[in-house]
């Protein structure tokens, strides 16, 4: 159960607005980036939220991984995004792959500000 959990809170994103509002397009890109990072997708799901008086609705895109998960939430009316990447390191260390995936998604959204955090989860088994 030992693994790396990465989060990013992205603000003032300068990307094309469709990355914040088009669930199918975002999910497809997430799945591509997962494979590019060398991780194994096992399922995926996206959801679009309705527009509000503040602007277009955001989206949630999730890719379930053999190693754990990727989840992206967007707030187009605020030009904000949160990204969550968690990889279990059972059998192999997937930390570099998780970092590569996170780096690719942060670059996609082109935020003016990014608060990135990393948490080591679980306990390393004794050797």
Closest CA to 87 of 96, 74, 75, 79: 96
Verify whether residue 68 is a known catalytic residue: yes
In sequence order, the 6+-apart residues with CB closer than 8 A to the CB of 83 are: 6, 7, 8, 10, 70, 71, 72, 102, 105, 106
Query: 30, 68, 69, 94: which one is catalytic?
Result: 68
Verify whether residue 30 is a known catalytic residue: no
Verify whether residue 71 is a known catalytic residue: no
| Beta bridge partners of residue 52, listed in sequence order | 55
Structure letter (DSSP) for residue 66? S
Query: 5, 13, 69, 88: which one is catalytic?
Result: 88
Which residues are the active-site residues? 68, 73, 88
């Amino acid at each position: 159960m030992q693994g790396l959990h990465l989060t990013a809170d992205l603000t003032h994103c300068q990307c094309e607005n469709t990355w914040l509002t088009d669930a199918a397009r975002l999910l497809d890109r997430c799945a591509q980036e997962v494979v590019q990072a060398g991780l194994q997708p096992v399922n995926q799901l996206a959801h679009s939220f309705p527009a509000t008086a503040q602007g277009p609705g955001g989206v949630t895109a999730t890719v379930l991984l053999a190693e754990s998960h990727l989840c992206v939430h967007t707030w187009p009316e605020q030009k904000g995004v949160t990204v969550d990447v968690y990889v279990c390191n059972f059998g192999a260390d997937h930390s570099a792959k998780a970092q590569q995936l996170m780096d690719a998604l942060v670059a996609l959204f082109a935020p003016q500000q990014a608060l990135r955090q990393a948490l080591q989860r679980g306990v390393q088994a004794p050797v």
